[in-house]
Amino acid sequence: MGKIISTVAGGIDDAVNGIVSTVTNVGATAAQLATLASNFAVPAPLKENLALRQGYAVGMHKAASKSMILGDDPQDIGPLIKSTLKAALAKSQSVFTATYVGDTGVRSDNGLVQNYCGTGGGAEPGQPAVDAAIAQLKAQLAQNFNNWQFPTDDTMMSSMAQTMVLEVFNKAGAGDSSVGTYSISTNQSIDWTLTYGLFSVSVSPSTQALVYAFSAAFNSGF
């Protein structure tokens, strides 16, 4: 899967700088990041008036257009990655709110997967790349849940990590989101959303990175 770099764990700036230093086609990478940011964009609330919505749309268009024309300086890529990370986080939180109405205590994390090496369609447990990714994501989920004071259980961590890895491996592309609920007991569960997308880093050798954002809430039953 590559190496997961979480903003919760730290090291995101080093990860971004590492990607920037290895980008071989700045224009193509910038265009892919702009596409991801556009696909992750959360629509302006309907309660806002037309003028505000138009201003939001114009702003998004200008931001995307600016991203699309960047193409000469590799240092332009760093800010684009960070803005795409923010867009993914906003998307994950928006999907969560729309899917799990009434959930409270929602916590979120986002980050990058360096040197992403998913299997594409047909990913299944038992494949070496899939099992390695599950083990790594399981450890990251456990760290997040401990930080957020959510329940942690080995079976739960394994199940959730497997579901998420298979979703990402089979669906990752120009921006997608997955949702799920893990039932701990008859009245306790963890709801989650995961937003993710790929962008190219280098052509030869061909390498990619994955942007992700994760949101979750623990329903205690009280």
* pLDDT 10s digits, 146-159: 999 999 889 999 99
Q: What is the spatial distance between Cα 155 and Cα 152, in angstroms, rounded to a whole number?
A: 9
> What SS3 state is found at 151?
coil
* pLDDT 10s digits, 149-197: 999 889 999 999 999 999 999 888 889 999 999 999 888 999 999 999 9
Q: Which residues pair with 209 in a beta bridge?
A: 199
Other CB atoms within 10 Å distance of the CB of residue 71? 14
Please state the domain extents for the chain: 3-219
Q: What is the spatial distance between Cα 10 and Cα 96, in angstroms, rounded to a whole number?
A: 24
| pTM for this predicted structure | 0.85
